[in-house]
Copies of this chain bind each other. A is one copy, B any other.
Amino acid sequence: MPRYRLLVEYNGTPFVGWQRQDNGASVQGVLEAAVIKLCGHRIAIYAAGRTDAGVHATGQVAHVDLPKDYPAETVRAALNYHMSPHPVAVVEAEEVGDDFHARFSAIGRSYLYRILNRRAPPALDLHRVLWLPMDLDVAAMNEAAQRLIGHHDFSTFRARDCQAQSPMKTLDRLTATRVGEEIHVVAEARSFLHHQVRNMVGTLQLVGRGNWSADRMAEALEARDRRAGGPTAKPGGLYLTGVKY
C-alpha cells in the first residue's frame, strides 16, 4: 500500500468542513469519492488540519494509502479529474514512506486571516474575507498580537467543544499587516486549539476599533477563560496556508 502525500487547495464555502459528516458535503468526502473512482476502494484520507465549515485552504496537506503503485502524477491528475466541478484541487502529489502521517508528523501550521477594511462590502471576495468597514488601528492590533506570542494556556481563545487534551500551546507568530484594502493576520504554531485563530482575530478586532488596549489582551490571555476573549471571527476569512514537517 504505497502512501501518497497530497497538497490540497479548496474553497471552503460549500462544505461542512474538512471532515466527513452526515449533514452535507465535506472536502474529505469529495477526495475520498475521487479515490474510489481512481482505484475502486473506499480509503480514508487524513489531513493535517480539520478545517471548519467555510474555512479555505491553499496549503492543506493530506495522505492516503492506495492499493497499487500509481505514478504520483497520475494520482494528482486522476483525483483532480474526478473531483471536478467541486472547488477542491490536488496541487501536488508525492509518494512518501509509511512513517509519514499528514496530521501526526506535522510540526507547524500556518494560517492567514483576511479582513477587508473598506467602506464597501466585498463583491468578488464574498465569503473569502471578513468585512470590517470601520477604521482599524493595524499597528495597535499588531502590538496586541505580540502579547500572545509564546507558550501559554490559550483557554481564552479555545472553543467549548475543543478536544485537545491540554490548552497549552506555543504561538510562534501572530502579525497584523495592512495589504492594500485588506488587513492580513498571519498565525503560526506547531498546532492550534479549535477556533483559536478565529477567536484571536475576533479579539484583535476589538483592539483595532480602539475598544481594547494591548494590556487588555494580555489580561484576557491571563484569565484563561473563553468569556474573557472577544467574539469568534467568521470562517470565510480564514485560510490554512501551509503545514511544515
Contacts and interface: CB of A to CB of B under 8 A. Distances in A.
Q: Which among A89, A122, A126 has the highest number of chain B CB atoms within 10 Å?
A: A89
Interface stretch (A80-88, A144-152, A196-204): A80-88
A119 B73 CA distance: 10
Of all A-B residue pairs in the complex, the 9 with the closest CB atoms, nearest first, are A89-B123, A9-B123, A91-B120, A89-B120, A87-B123, A87-B126, A10-B123, A11-B124, A89-B121
A90 interface: yes
A237 to B, nearest CB: 13
A103 interface: no
A213 interface: no
- Report the interface size class on chain A: 20 to 34
Q: Which among A76, A85, A124 has the highest number of chain B CB atoms within 10 Å?
A: A124
A13 to B, nearest CB: 10
Given A89-B120, A91-B118, 6 more contacts: A9-B123, A11-B124, A58-B124, A76-B119, A85-B126, A124-B128
A5 interface: no
A114 to B, nearest CB: 12
Nearest to A10: B123
5 contacts: A9-B120, A11-B126, A85-B126, A90-B120, A91-B120
A114 B118 CA distance: 24
A56 interface: yes
A91 B121 CA distance: 8
Contacts of A121: 80, 84, 89
Interface in A1-47: 9-11
Interface in A99-141: 118-124, 126, 128
